[in-house]
Amino acid sequence: MDKRMSNYRADFPILDQQVNDEQLVYLDNAATTQKPRVVIDAITKYYYTDNANVHRGVHTLAERATEQFEGVRDKVARFINAPTREEIIYTKGTTEALNWVAAGYGKKYVKAGDEIVISCAEHHSNLVPWQQLAKRNGAILRYLDLTADGFIDLDKAQDVINDKTAIVAVNHASNVLGVVNPISKLAKMAHQHGAIMVVDGAQSTPHMPIDVQALDADFYAFSGHKLLAPTGIGILWGKSELLAAMSPLEFGGEMIDWVELQETTFKKAPLKFEGGTQNIAGVVGLGAAIDYLTRIGMNNIKGYEQELVDYVLPKLQQIEGLTIYGPPDAKKHTGVISFNLKGLHPHDVATALDMEGVAVRAGHHCAQPLMRYLNIAATARASFYFYNTKEDAQRLVDAIIATKEFFQNGTV
């Protein structure tokens, strides 16, 4: 393993185990990442010493819990270069965040005849909410074309995004095709026509530096569990003026300013969106994860993952009968590599790889329209993170070759 990164793998206790009598190679990071000890310890410490509800007490435990909870908001703002901490909203994850934008903003401001522009390469979380919004409000859902390599086609996008466009919503990085889309250029197109830019950052935020101001997004969403934090915690960032115009989706404790018998007024963002008891331990874990990633450096993570892709993609491309989706150029391909082995169902491939100790995902990856666009039912998907090694990558290659030989010859 690269000496710059070699010390970090030991921070992940789950990786030190055998699966089916083979050393585990975990390559399902696009679905969820493993947690370092510092994250696990931070959550444990919170429950051991600081467990209390936030914002609602003047006793010591409540004040300590609140200090941690709000401190993480500052860390997130720095991590994605948000202009202010008040633009950081805690959610359950990317799915909830995108649904909130569609229902809390879109329901109010998208009118009949308006157009919502997305791509067929979206995760269902960034497709179904807009589909449902279009149906409710009488809007029109339009799709951006893809290039042969799987990127959003910017030339054709100029014909799709027009004065009728109200919202453009796309992924920053694909969970299937291994591409990073040109968000700032799409945002410029959207803004020229008075539309807002919504970005699904679930697959980009863990793997590269994020600057929401440079991207010129209007809303940006990501999940904690894909960047070393616990499940059930995520972030919605939005520009202050848009959050002010957006309606809350949940009503209850903490998000209110004043309640009368017939009327209620709400607090300003972010609290107006955070009704009820939040996932405080999840927030603490997210803060620990961001601290950990910041110490490593997101540019270092991006660079090292590129080295892994540079190593493994050419080797995979040499396997006869293996189809790889997305850019053939390793320099344009992220650590998400989707593939099919000729004559085999992806589930059979994933099961066979698991017998070799290699964990990959198989299925439509919550991207059924993209599967139909590619004229396939499903793929197997290996996805790398910075705690993976070139040895892990080689194990993947060897396991695919062994799987191919087993099904062709009946022997490994």
What residues act catalytically?
366
Does residue 36 have a cis bond before it (omega within 30 degrees)? Answer: no
Pairing between β-strand 196-200 and β-strand 219-223 as defined by DSSP bridges: parallel
For residues 139 and 196, what is the distance between their CA atoms, to the nearest angstrom?
Answer: 15
Nearest-5° angle of CA 181, CA 183, CA 186?
A: 110
Beta-carbon contacts of 232 under 8 Å, excluding residues fewer than 6 positions away, are 92, 93, 224, 225, 279, 282
Instruction: State the residue for tokens 């004065």.
Output: 163
Q: What is the 3-state secondary structure (H, E, C) of 294-352?
A: HHHCHHHHHHHHHHHHHHHHHHHHCCCCEEECCCCCHHHCCCEEEEEECCCCHHHHHHH
Give pairs for 53-59: CB < 8 Å, separation 24+: 53/277, 53/280, 54/278, 54/280, 55/254, 55/271, 56/253, 56/254
Nearest-5° angle of CA 399, CA 405, CA 411?
A: 105
Per the document, the length of the chain is: 412
- CA distances 409 to 177, 298, 343, 346, 366, Å, are 31, 44, 13, 19, 33
